[in-house]
Amino acid sequence: MSADCRAEVHVGDVGTQYRMEVLDNCEPFDPSTAETMQLIFLLPGGGVLVKDATLETEGSPADRWFLTYTVVADDGIGSPPGDFHAQTGPLKVQFYVEWADGRHFHSNIRAVDIDNRELRVYANLN
């Protein structure tokens, strides 16, 4: 049996980082002056979850910008909140940025990762 080193997200996983490059018309775009930076997730089962994102950069000086969110325990849908990765199935992600003057921007909706693999939550063996 050969090893498959691709990362998988499983039900109940925490610590998973979601990262989206900020692009406008397929070009890197600097959103650092935006007041609101969020990642919006369409979870398996149809629930929508909005999370504040962190801005990360690459390059010196910065020439690429990314919005990131790292999953923590009990940050899913519900009250009290359940697990983010509560159900198996495909998920989608989109970013949203908004400036103080009311300008705002939604990215394309992504259903694949940077390696063009489907974003999916997998079942566990137990």
Nearest-angstrom CA–CA distance, 91 and 13: 14
pTM, full prediction? 0.91
Torsion of CA 52, 54, 55, 57, to 10 degrees: -150
Give me the DSSP letters along 97-125: EE-TTS-EEE---B-B-TTSPBPEEEPP-
The b-or-e profile of 31-69 (16+ CB within 10 A means b, else e) is beebeebbbbbbbbeeeebebebebeeeeeeeeebbbbb
Domain boundaries, the chain: 9-122
Structure tokens at 112: 């694949």
pLDDT tens digits, one per residue of 78-91: 888 899 999 999 99
- Residue 45: pLDDT band by 50, 70, 90 thresholds? confident
Q: What is the mean pLDDT of the chain?
A: 92
Residue type, 2: S
Annotation: CATH topology of 9-122? Immunoglobulin-like (2.60.40)
